[in-house]
Amino acid sequence: IQEKLVERGISSPILIGYKGDQFDLTMNALYFRGKVRDPITMEVHNNLQSRGDGTSIPLHIHHTASQSPVVGTSLDYFTERNLKIQDGRMFAVIGEVIAGSDVANEFRLEIGDTIRSDVTNLYNIAGAYPMTLSVVGILEPSESEDDRAFFVSTQTGWALDGLLHGHEKVTTKNSINPQAKEGENLEATAAIFLFPEITEDNRDTFHLHGLQSDMPIDSILFFPDNKKAHDQVLGEMELATLHHAIRPQKVIENILSIVFAIERALYGYFTVLCLATLSFLGLIFSLRYRLRRDEFILMERIGGAKNIILVMLCTELAVIFCMAIILAGIFSWSSLLALQLFLS
């Protein structure tokens, strides 16, 4: 687990996001867990991409489908992560999704199937509705977090947000200004029908209300072409007021150092606990022997050999220890299984 965590951090040179908690940003961008509190805009990505000394990859990780993360990104993500298509093709237009190998196997997905995004906020009736997405590709297994996620374009991610949407044609019957004169824009009412699925018939009607450069993304993975570009980006972001650049490898190493420190403390605690338990058991067996001393003397008087008494005592101890080992094994196995299910 440690090797896989560090390897994913090493393969992600620079991570850029809104200034805040580095751990949340890293967990969201690299492992698709948790949410970033404050997004950044596509303008930051555009500026990085225009530098020409590296590859900038936007990440939009807000939504899930059947509790599996839906990652909005660009095609460069698959190149940098060395992810290959096992069946089908890459997404080309909005509304198309690529499934990781694990989620494809879990939900028995095939090319041409559809998935439905989860409701983001059950109590926000004004929010975006769940959308139906078409599966166009399935990834080869990579033994990483990418196996357990769905991938869409950033535009599709904005469609899931409701920022990019399509709806029925606005007419005088469903507008809030039906008295508008010819040439004036008709303003749609809140009751206008929004398309819950992107199809060939309605894809051209989907549009943004605002500039694409102002659209939100959670973070940016930047892959510099050389050491100079790496250091320049880190230096420039250090001077920025709203954004910061972090090295995921360092963040992961900090997390692991905390985990290992806790592990060492727990080992020390359990060592002391084990010694105390052994001392307590020794005291119990010593008292037990004293209480049964008259019984052992009587056994010797009626012809019982000392070695037979010793064998009987050792057998009792062996039975107790065997039962303890069996119960501890069952408890440990159950705990490890529950932990594995929780982590997966």
Long-range pairs for 102-105: beta carbons < 8 A, 24 or more residues apart: 102/141, 102/147, 102/148, 103/66, 103/68, 103/147, 103/148, 103/149, 103/150, 104/138, 104/139
> What confidence score (pLDDT) does residue 186 get?
46
> What confidence score (pLDDT) does residue 174 get?
47
Q: What is the pLDDT of residues 320-343, one digit of tens each?
A: 889 988 998 999 899 888 887 876
**Rounded distance, CA 220 to CA 48, Å?**
9
Q: Are 67 and 106 in contact (CB under 8 A)?
A: no
Confidence grade of residue 39 (pLDDT, cut at 50, 70, 90): very high
Q: Answer whether residue 291 shows pLDDT above 80.
A: yes
Question: Any idea what DSSP says for residue 149?
Answer: -
Mean pLDDT over the full length of the chain: 85
Write down the domain spans for the chain.
2-166+206-246, 262-343
